[in-house]
Amino acid sequence: FDYQRTMVAAAAALTARFGASPPPPPHALVVGLGAGSCAAALHALGCAVTAFEYDAAVLAAAASAHGVRFERLSRRAGGAGFDPPPRHRNGPRPLCVCEADAAEADAWGRAAFDLALLDAYDGRGDVPAHLQREPFLEGLSRVLRPGGFALANLWNGSDRARAECARFAAKLRAAVGRVYVLRVAGHEQNVILLACRPGERQGSESTCDVLRERLAAAAAAAATDCPEPALVQTIRSCASSLTEWSECEA
């Protein structure tokens, strides 16, 4: 889907997955596995990925129907976080899935992530209630490292959906940090919200111009490094479409 490509392209670009010397793999949190497309794409681009999915049927479908290979993580006794996967000396860390609701208290334990992906709307265009609650959003901010960010896909194709999107953007800003919007080329009824957690240094909060520059630089690097032209074009589209949420009509 176009919105999935936009989320993955922005995440990969903002974590500098392209170029001659990419940094150590970022740790990505995926809330809701779905068909596994976003998690598998991020893993293929070199990210360490931990997904949370509470529906066993979804896990089975992702594995059997879509061929997504993953390693299950076990919840710790008492439910506070999960046991890390065994070290893999002869290859990259596997795509990991914890069969649990990410909105549960202490679901993430002491894990730390560089980015988070939320596919955050239901069939009516509403953000699910458990992803809007203060404990979930505060927990999301807590596990994001300084300078990390969260990407949320939302439906924006009706007056009701736009009002819901505005409410969720306000909650993301209050919990995580400044919120930006990425347009989905070819599917304009979706929007991607990008919430950026401030860095450790005072005044290190990402600005629109800084993010556009990072996306444009990643697109230039990916043009010579990435074998998928559609992904490169999507990064370029992200660089040109990025706006701060306050600049957009709710």
Mean pLDDT by 10 residues, the chain (250 residues): 91 81 82 88 89 87 80 69 58 78 74 87 75 90 93 89 90 95 87 90 73 92 82 93 74
The C-alpha atoms of residue 126 and residue 165 are separated, in whole angstroms, by 8
> Which DSSP helix (H) or strand (E) runs through 165?
helix 159-175
pTM, rounded to two decimals:
0.88
Count the Cβ atoms, other than its own, within 10 Å of residue 25: 18
Residue whose tokens read 């819901």:
164
Find where tokens 């953007």 sit. 169
pLDDT at 203: 58
Query: What is residue 97's three-state secondary structure?
Result: strand
Neighbours of 46 (CB within 10 A): 16
Residue 153 Cα distances to 20, 191, 221, angstroms: 30, 6, 26
